[in-house]
């Protein structure tokens, strides 16, 4: 194996890698994709069908629709509706990319009809239990659409008995032409790169080509939960794996959910945004200050310490330009005192070397024998947002400031207490269930809490119960720490209610159309354009059909169930009119008022995320879908949040492939969802790089 000194970084020199880079960029996903004014469509439009071809597919869809209506309510019906939707979507959105792909309709249709026949039979065949290749589906909580995932079920699998099985999540690579229909057919004919003995392999679709981020991330979690409902899966022997774009997804799931898995096995891909784009894409980055802060969300280098809890086996080809992903993680982990196990395929480009596969499988099998450690006595956890706020028995409840480093290191001291070193955290909870706490209840257990910016420490009792459980919450009061005895109340940023705008599209949401008009027709035109864009691109990028209603049709049940995405102004959208006086930014026919800053309402529009005043357990979002746009589809590393908690758009600059308009001002809200002083007045921010 060949290794490079981590201090030199591979991307700084080397004629061999420069030649490789030219090869990659000359074939797309490179230099020609660095022009925002000339963005190719992703995915490209497929072939035009003849009337006869279209009619033939429509007939099959109609047959499936009649059977689905007949079997309404059947618990396995989603395994048919997911195929029906895949066929319909390919037809509706012109996603047949060659004449050969029309044959995929027949294959998928035959599978669906076989399942329908089975459901009609008294002797139901539970296809999802049978060994071999399978495609199942679940109904997404985000938009209510059926989403597919593939399964490889080993020959040894039995649906009854006490035995539970290891499961490997395997994340696919980038495929701009991987429609749902193509994915389903591929999963019904191929085991994939790895199919370990006695192991279920789950292949998430991940909502297309987003490196398993945002809705793709939730797709993974929902597919896994659905598989757990169907199959006998060992919770302590679930791994996360992937290659290329799938390797990027593996890195991000590993650092954000390290306590879910017994091991991680990322290969190639990317692990952060700025260095990868400069190296791989040769892109000249000019991020705003808030975009830099938001890189923390998915820059895995900033979360590297979390892998202290998760055994990791990284892989790269020696000659693969995407080796950069593991190289930069190796440096980040080295700073934490962790030596990354990096398997390198000799003289190998963008694939997995056969001997490396043998080595990796042996290591993964050994790790599976040990399984996940559920209750480690020492934890090291770093986060930048309450979106990801827990590790095993530690939960961070409040941050000093979002998008600044927050860290908790906890270790056991002589089996009679705990030591915690805390930075950037205002409150945290320790929760160890009955029978799992290793501290003895008769001992005078204490926790010593050190705050990194302070020389003081707080020593507090640990109330270990007689059932060997421990649950206690702490909060910072000045330089001291205290035990919280009453629930925290009041409006504040908390888990799944912390922003930024993109967070609203990781749970159930409803887009709301305005039925009125505003004083300014230019604003109405912009609003309609952005609503149309949000609806179209939810499908194009995240492969769903967004729920949408007129403002006059939104019910109380909708407000309880969904984040509401309101398009319009307080004049044109009745729901926004009801909320307008309860939002921290005011919007009248004359002006948008942000603290002491005033913007002409005839030339500006507001995007915002905030706890819904009509249901503070859910968000309200104004005038925005997810915030990255067409230019960012061209490279998955670009697919990161582009707006903070609020932004004022100057409509004199029309929308383009990167933004919905020029940004007149934008910022985050504070930890109590309050307006902050203008960013310039707060001074330069340390973005933690």
Return the closest-CA partner of residue 211 out of 237, 170, 250: 250
Residue range 377-429, pLDDT digits in tens: 999 999 999 999 999 999 999 999 999 999 999 999 987 799 999 999 999 99
pTM: 0.94
Measure the CA–CA gap between 607 and 605, rounded to whole angstroms. Answer: 7
Q: For tokens 């699998």, name the residue.
A: 157
What ranges in 393-550 are assigned the alpha helix state H?
521-542
Measure the CA–CA gap between 616 and 618, rounded to whole angstroms. Answer: 5
**Strand 394-399 to strand 390-391: parallel, antiparallel, or no bridges (unpaired)?**
antiparallel
Report whether pLDDT(234) > 60.
yes
Report whether pLDDT(528) > 50.
yes
Q: Which residues pair with 417 in a beta bridge?
A: 446
Predicted pLDDT of residue 6? 35
Helix (H) or strand (E) holding 413: none
Residue 217 gets which letter from DSSP?
H
Report whether pLDDT(4) > 60.
no
CA 387 and chain centroid, separation: 10
Predicted pLDDT of residue 25? 36
Q: For tokens 């009337």, name the residue.
A: 51
ω into 500 cis (within 30 of 0): yes
Main-chain phi, psi angles of 415, to 5 degrees: 55, 15
Measure the CA–CA gap between 671 and 476, rounded to whole angstroms. Answer: 14
Residue range 530-560, pLDDT digits in tens: 999 999 999 999 999 999 999 999 999 999 9
CB distance 407 to 381 below 8 Å: yes
Report whether pLDDT(446) > 70.
yes
The token pair at 389 is 């706020």
If pLDDT is split at 50, 70 and 90, which confidence band does 247 have? very high
Return the closest-CA partner of residue 423 out of 445, 441, 401: 401
- The length of the chain in residues reads 689
Return the closest-CA partner of residue 111 out of 148, 155, 156: 148
Measure the CA–CA gap between 287 and 569, rounded to whole angstroms. Answer: 29
The token pair at 326 is 């593991």
Edge-to-edge strand list for the sheet holding 586-587: 586-587, 591-594, 597-600
Main-chain phi, psi angles of 243, to 5 degrees: -140, 145
210-239: average pLDDT: 98
Measured N-to-C along each axis, helices 180-187 and 102-120 cross at an angle, to the nearest 10 degrees, of: 70
Report whether pLDDT(641) > 90.
yes
Average pLDDT, the chain: 93
CB distance 461 to 445 below 8 Å: yes
Burial 151-165 (b: 16+ CB within 10 A, else e): bbbbeebeeeeeeeb
Predicted pLDDT of residue 443? 85
Measure the CA–CA gap between 460 and 474, rounded to whole angstroms. Answer: 9
Measure the CA–CA gap between 312 and 267, rounded to whole angstroms. Answer: 11
Residue range 602-634, pLDDT digits in tens: 999 999 999 999 999 999 999 999 999 999 999
If pLDDT is split at 50, 70 and 90, which confidence band does 454 have? confident
Q: Give percent of the chain with pLDDT exceeding 90.
A: 89
Taking the CB of residue 681, how many other CB atoms lie within 10 A of it? 7
555 Cβ partners below 8 Å, 6+ apart?
none
154 Cβ partners below 8 Å, 6+ apart?
131, 165, 195, 197, 198, 199, 200
DSSP string, 565-579: EE-S-TTT-HHHHHH
CB distance 299 to 275 below 8 Å: no
Measure the CA–CA gap between 368 and 241, rounded to whole angstroms. Answer: 13
Taking the CB of residue 429, how many other CB atoms lie within 10 A of it? 17
Edge-to-edge strand list for the sheet holding 548-550: 548-550, 509-513, 563-566, 615-622, 604-612, 646-650, 662-667
Using a 10 angstrom Cβ sphere, with 0-12 exposed, 13-18 middle and 19 or more buried, the burial of residue 1 is exposed
**Strand 417-423 to strand 446-451: parallel, antiparallel, or no bridges (unpaired)?**
parallel
Count of H-run helices and E-run strands, the chain: 15, 28
Residue range 334-372, pLDDT digits in tens: 999 999 999 999 999 999 999 999 999 999 999 999 999
Return the closest-CA partner of residue 492 out of 439, 426, 541, 431: 426
97 Cβ partners below 8 Å, 6+ apart?
43, 44, 46, 47, 177
CB distance 427 to 484 below 8 Å: yes
Residue range 25-72, pLDDT digits in tens: 334 467 899 999 999 999 999 999 999 999 999 999 999 999 999 999
Q: Nearest-5° angle of CA 643, CA 280, CA 267?
A: 95
68-93: average pLDDT: 96
Q: For tokens 């952060």, name the residue.
A: 272
Q: Which residues pair with 563 in a beta bridge?
A: 509
Measure the CA–CA gap between 543 and 45, rounded to whole angstroms. Answer: 15
153 Cβ partners below 8 Å, 6+ apart?
129, 130, 131, 132, 133, 134, 200, 231
450 Cβ partners below 8 Å, 6+ apart?
419, 420, 421, 422, 457
């Amino acid at each position: 194996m060949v290794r490079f000194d981590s201090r030199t970084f591979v991307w700084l020199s080397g004629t061999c890698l420069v030649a490789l880079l030219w090869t990659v960029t000359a074939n797309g996903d490179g230099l020609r994709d660095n022009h925002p004014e000339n963005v190719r469509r992703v995915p490209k439009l497929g072939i035009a069908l003849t009337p006869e071809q279209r009619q033939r597919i429509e007939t099959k869809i109609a047959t499936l629709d009649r059977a689905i209506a007949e079997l309404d309510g059947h618990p396995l019906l989603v395994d048919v509706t997911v195929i029906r939707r895949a066929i319909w979507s390919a037809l509706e959105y012109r996603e047949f990319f060659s004449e050969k792909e029309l044959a995929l309709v027949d294959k998928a249709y035959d599978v669906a009809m076989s399942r329908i026949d089975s459901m009609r039979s008294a002797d139901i065949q539970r296809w999802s239990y049978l060994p071999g290749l399978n495609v199942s589906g679940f109904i997404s909580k985000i938009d209510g659409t059926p989403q597919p995932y593939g399964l490889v079920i080993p020959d040894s699998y039995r649906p009854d008995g006490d035995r539970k099985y290891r499961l490997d999540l395997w994340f696919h690579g980038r495929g701009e032409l991987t429609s749902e229909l193509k994915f389903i057919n591929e999963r019904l004919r191929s085991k994939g790169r790895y199919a370990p003995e006695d192991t279920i392999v789950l292949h998430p679709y991940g909502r297309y080509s987003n490196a398993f981020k945002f809705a793709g991330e939730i797709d993974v979690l929902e597919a896994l939960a659905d598989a757990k409902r169907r199959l006998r899966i060992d919770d302590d022997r679930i791994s996360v794996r992937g290659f290329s774009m799938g390797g990027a997804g593996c890195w991000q799931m590993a650092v954000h959910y390290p306590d879910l898995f017994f091991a991680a096995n990322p290969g190639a891909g990317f692990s952060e945004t700025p260095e990868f784009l400069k190296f791989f894409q040769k892109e000249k980055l000019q991020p705003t200050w808030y975009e830099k802060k938001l890189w923390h969300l998915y820059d895995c280098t900033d979360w590297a310490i979390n892998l202290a809890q998760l055994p990791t086996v990284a892989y790269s080809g020696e000659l693969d330009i995407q080796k950069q992903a593991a190289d930069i993680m190796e440096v980040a982990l080295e700073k934490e005192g962790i030596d990354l196990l990096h398997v390198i395929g000799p003289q190998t480009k963008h694939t997995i070397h056969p001997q490396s596969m043998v080595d990796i499988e042996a290591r993964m099998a050994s790790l599976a024998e040990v399984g996940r450690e559920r209750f480690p006595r020492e934890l090291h956890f770093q986060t930048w947002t309450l979106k990801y706020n827990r590790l095993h028995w530690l939960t961070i409840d409040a941050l000093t400031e979002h998008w600044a480093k927050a860290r908790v290191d906890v270790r056991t001291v002589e089996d009679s207490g705990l030591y915690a070193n805390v930075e950037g955290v205002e409150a945290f909870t320790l929760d160890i269930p009955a029978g799992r706490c290793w501290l003895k209840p008769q001992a005078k257990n204490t926790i010593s809490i050190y705050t990194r910016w302070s020389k003081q420490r707080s020593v507090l009792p640990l109330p270990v119960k007689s059932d060997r459980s421990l649950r206690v919450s702490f909060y910072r009061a000045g330089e001291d720490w205290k035990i919280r005895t009453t629930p925290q109340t009041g409006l504040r940023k908390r888990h799944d209610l912390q922003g930024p705008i993109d967070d609203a599209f990781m749970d159930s949401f409803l887009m709301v159309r305005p039925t009125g008009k505003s004083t300014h027709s230019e604003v109405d035109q912009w609003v309609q354009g952005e609503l149309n864009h949000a609806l179209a691109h939810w499908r194009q990028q995240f492969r769903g059909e967004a729920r949408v209603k007129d403002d006059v049709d939104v019910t109380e049940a909708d407000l309880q169930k969904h984040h509401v995405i309101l398009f319009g102004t307080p004049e044109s959208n009745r729901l926004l009119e009801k909320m307008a006086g309860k939002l921290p930014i005011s919007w009248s026919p004359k002006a948008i008022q942000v603290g002491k800053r005033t913007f002409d309402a005839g030339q500006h529009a507001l995007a915002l995320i905030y706890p819904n005043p009509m249901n503070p357990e859910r968000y309200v979002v104004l005038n925005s879908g997810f915030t990255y746009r067409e230019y960012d589809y061209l490279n998955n590393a670009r697919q990161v949040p582009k707006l903070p908690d609020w932004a004022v758009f100057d409509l004199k600059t029309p929308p383009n492939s990167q933004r919905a308009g020029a940004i007149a001002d934008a910022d985050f809200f504070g930890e109590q969802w309050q307006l902050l002083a203008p960013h310039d007045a707060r001074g330069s921010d340390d973005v933690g790089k």
